[in-house]
Chains A and B, each alone.
Chain A
Amino acid sequence: MKKIKYTARIKRYNPEEDRSYYQDFEVEVEDSLTVLELLMYIKDKIDPTLTFRAFCRSAICGSCAMIINNRAGLACKIQAKDKIKNGVIKIEPLKTLKPIRDLVVDQEPAFEKLKKIKPYLEPDPKVVPDNLKSESLVLPEEFARYDKQTDCILCMACYGQCNALKGDSEYLGPFQLTKVFRFIMDTRDGVDVEERIKLAEDHGIWECVQCQMCFAACPKGISSCDDILELRRIAKDVGEENIATRRAKFWFATVFETGQIDKLHLPEVAFSDEKGKKIRENMEKEFKQRGLREDEFGPKPFEGIEKFRNFIKKIEKEL
């Protein structure tokens, strides 16, 4: 049995004093411990007041998500020795949820957001029988479209490290949007795709910044950022006039005109609300600070743009 010595640096929160602080625990333990086993060791042997959630210890219940060396993950699934850097392993609570005590965070806001998106199947009477004598028929390839997404254990690792949430605290969150995708893909679901997309658009799919941290955090390898891209594509297809269609049209128009995306005006056109306007104003302010002139803000046609436009027209005809 090989023992190793290192420091567990744990971010604690004392609710009675409303105070966060780091505490170092020096340990000498078996090298095969998971982070959860390390925490249990500290609680059993050093400090019984150390507080964290844990249940199944086999990466299926989703209780023990936390930030380990700046990356969200399940404490029970991660080997402690792999995370020791310069003799220290740093353990912190999930970032975007308020701490209740030590590593325990308040999950309620994230569950409330889940409830907003109709996170359940409403049977489509054309597919789901109305009696208990038979099953709905689902082909394996139909199930395969959302099989991966049903692995979600609601551990909130993705949510706890989501960058979009830092910009918009009302943002729905990655796992919630994966759930929308899962139900849209389910042939048994009777909720109109338009309705599901509408729910996903409210502080949802257009707020995602595609940083892919959700995918990096997910202990089940689910890529919510990709699900969100899919949802954006679906949004473009189902709506006559919505963020997706406006975005697509404007994107195409400016690329056709100039050969580049007009990032300055794109949010304003796509969102077509106060928020979009604000984004433009902020960007303009920043450009000015950098010393740009107003006529330098947007993209301008490059030399030989006619050739490019003809090429696009040709492709359009072929399509």
Chain B
Amino acid sequence: MKRDVLIVGAGGAGLYAALSAVKENKDLDVAVLTKVYPTRSHTGAAQGGINAALANVDPTDNEELHTFDTIKGSDYLADQEAVKYMCYEAPKIIRAMEHMGVPFSRLGNGKIAQRPFGGASKDRTCYSADKMGHVMLHTLYEQCIKEGVEFLNEWFMLNIVHDGKRAIGVTAINIATGEVELIRAKSIILATGGHSRIYWGYTSNALGCTGDGTAAALRAGLPLKDMEFLQFHPTGLRKSAILVSEAARGEGGHLKNALGERFMKKYAPEKMELGPRDLVSRSIMQEIREGRGFKDEEGREYVHLDLTHLGEEKIKERLPQIRELAIDFEGIDPIKEPIPIKPTAHYAMGGIHTNVKCETPIEGIYAAGEAQCVSVHGANRLGGNSLLDIVVFGNVAGKEAVRYAEGTDFADGGEEKLKEDIEFINELMNKESKETLGDMRNELGEIMFKHFGVFKNEKEMQEGYAKLKDLIERAHKNLGVEDKSKIFNLDLQSTLEFFNLLEIADVLAYASLQRKESRGSFYRDDYPKRDDENFLYHSMITKNPDGSFNYEKGEVDISLYEPAERKY
């Protein structure tokens, strides 16, 4: 198989990239390869909204303020020109999507409605009740149907193939048949999403957010950036860790401890519940640590997110999905009772290193979306900026990938890699498992949450890293695929995803140990202060053939705003 532009992943970034690519040049073969059907991707789970300084609600808002809020929110690790680009593109791309049919909630005058959100100085978050990601994803898919975009549904990418200089293609398995193929492509866009599933059981993410593209990039020798930065969202449901959107606080929800106190007044006296996510997550964990949390029969500790004072009408109109989730997964109606919540692993700021044109160091290979790290989120992403990031950089990646594909031919080679991958799969299929995938995945989640969670320190991390190394070794030795069928073998796919998770957890743990400071979402008890003198850099990690890591320091662009202390 051959495609001029091959996009891997069909979430917001992948679909936007596909639309941009086909609009840019109708004569090119553009295809989207995806392990799930297009509208299944995790973009659809984004609830609260998307940021753009439209100034529809607050006329004093503008792109410059959005830029500054994002940089401050990032704890000054974001690249400032890249942030500026994203924030200045925001109003245009929101309008472009509105013209495509995205059903935004509206103000009385007919304009797109906007709400306050964490870490934002103005009411800037455009929304569609509490299902923004869902309506965006579906609208983009509708437009892909209109433009005749080709989809390779239920294909799972194994590896990225290149010749050291330029892209050759990817190897992938057709889930329906079990056949492994080399798909040649002039340009490849990796829009494969995040990897918070390394915190298995402690994450808001979908079962499939396993960082497949990020792990493949690492194996292909591409650098991963800022992998130690993974955001914990303050409000996950107690039992399932499913997300309760920041919109719940944006609309006026209160966080309360077991004493009934709105404890955020201690930690963010001005912004209260609308402090940035990293700060609110730590505050919740601090309350629990100091014994002011709740504890249920199963020993789960949590605090309350109280919406009862908002009233039935507002909850039904603005937060219908949150209500549905609370009823379905906690058996609690937020109109009547507070929701039990705890922080949940939510979003990877780190990912595949690219520049602002979405280029990786290999020609013809691009990345966009949560899999990518430009970086526009630095050490902590603001709510409402991820849906923005994926479309802004999906758009860039689509155009750049077309530009490159127009000026080049298909590269030769890759047969070796295909052979290797087929052999690897056969080996896995023929191996008898000595341990079960389910248990090992849970073990990974336990290690990561306990040792690389909201609060970290050297001792905990070293212990955790040793456990992780042991788990990785055992997985390679003991884990095979027990389902031997070639047709729709999801046991095989889950096993491959688990190996991807292990690779990423390894990098995240390694990168965490190198950073001896606290910044944004990355917090260490033993180094509680930010240290710009020694650590204002992007960590850049590549993997050597022997499995060891190269660690380099990438420069942070601070050309617009001087780093300052972050207060809310």
A interface with B by C-beta (< 8 Å): 1, 15-16, 32, 34, 40, 43-45, 48-49, 51-63, 77, 100-101, 104, 107, 111, 114-115, 118-123, 128-129, 132-140, 142-143, 146-147, 150-154, 183, 186, 188-189
Contacts and interface: CB of A to CB of B under 8 A. Distances in A.
10 contacts: A15-B485, A44-B437, A57-B207, A61-B44, A120-B142, A120-B145, A123-B99, A132-B96, A137-B111, A151-B134
A130 to B, nearest CB: 9
Interface string B463-488: 00000000000000000001101011
A40 B437 CA distance: 11
Contacts of B482: 48-49
B44 A56 contact: yes
B103 A143 contact: yes
A5 to B, nearest CB: 19
A45 B134 contact: no
B45 A77 contact: no
B17 to A, nearest CB: 18
Contacts of B324: 59
Nearest to A61: B40
B176 interface: yes
Interface stretch (B238-246, B253-261, B446-454, B538-546): B238-246
Contact of A49 (B112, B129, B491): B491
A120 B487 contact: no
A100 B176 contact: yes
Contacts, number: 162
Lowest 3 CB-CB distances: which A-B pairs, in order?
A44-B438, A121-B101, A137-B110
Interface of B: 36-37, 39-42, 44-45, 54, 91-92, 95-96, 98-101, 103-112, 128-129, 131, 134-135, 138-139, 142-143, 145-146, 176, 206-208, 239-240, 242-243, 297-298, 321, 324-325, 328-329, 436-439, 482-483, 485, 487-491
A49 B483 contact: yes
Contact of B488 (A34, A104, A153): A104
Contacts of B95: 129, 132-135
A152 B103 CA distance: 13
A23 to B, nearest CB: 15
A56 B487 contact: no
Contact of A101 (B142, B240, B485): B485
Contacts of A56: 40, 42, 44-45, 206-207
A100 B328 CA distance: 29
Nearest to A134: B95
Contacts of B240: 57-58
Contacts of B485: 15-16, 49, 101
Contacts of A186: 101, 103
A140 B106 contact: yes
B135 A120 contact: no
Contacts of B100: 121, 123
B490 A61 contact: no
A136 B99 contact: yes
Which secondary structure dominates where chain A touches chain B? loop
Contacts of A45: 436, 438
A263 B439 CA distance: 62
A121 B436 CA distance: 47
A58 B325 contact: yes
Nearest to A143: B106
B243 A58 contact: yes
Contacts of A150: 103, 128, 135, 138
Given A61-B206, A135-B111, A55 B437 contact: no
A75 to B, nearest CB: 12
Contacts of A119: 142, 145
Contacts of A146: 103
Nearest to B438: A44
Nearest to A36: B207
Nearest to B146: A120
Contacts of B487: 15-16, 100-101
A43 B105 CA distance: 41
Nearest to B484: A49
A151 B44 CA distance: 11
Given A45-B438, A62-B40, A57 B98 contact: no
Nearest to A2: B297
A61 B207 CA distance: 11
Given A54-B207, A59-B328, A137-B111, 14 more contacts: A1-B298, A15-B487, A44-B437, A48-B437, A55-B40, A55-B42, A100-B487, A100-B488, A107-B37, A118-B146, A120-B101, A134-B95, A150-B135, A189-B101
Contacts of B488: 15, 51, 100-101, 104
Contacts of A52: 490
A1 B300 CA distance: 12
Contacts of B91: 132
Given A1-B297, A121-B142, A61 B41 contact: yes
Contacts of A147: 103, 129
A36 to B, nearest CB: 9
**Which of B99, B143, B176 has the most chain A CB atoms inside 10 A of its CB?**
B99
Given A44-B436, A63-B36, A132-B95, A32 B239 contact: yes
A139 B110 contact: yes
Nearest to A189: B101
A60 B138 CA distance: 11
A21 to B, nearest CB: 15
Contacts of A151: 131, 134
A55 B142 contact: no
B436 A138 contact: no
Contacts of B176: 100
B318 to A, nearest CB: 12
Contacts of A136: 98-99
A55 B206 contact: yes
Nearest to B142: A120
Contacts of B92: 132
Contacts of B41: 61
A34 B105 CA distance: 32
A145 to B, nearest CB: 11
Contact of A153 (B39, B42, B104, B110): B39
Nearest to B490: A51
A235 B524 CA distance: 65
A135 B112 contact: yes
B106 A128 contact: no
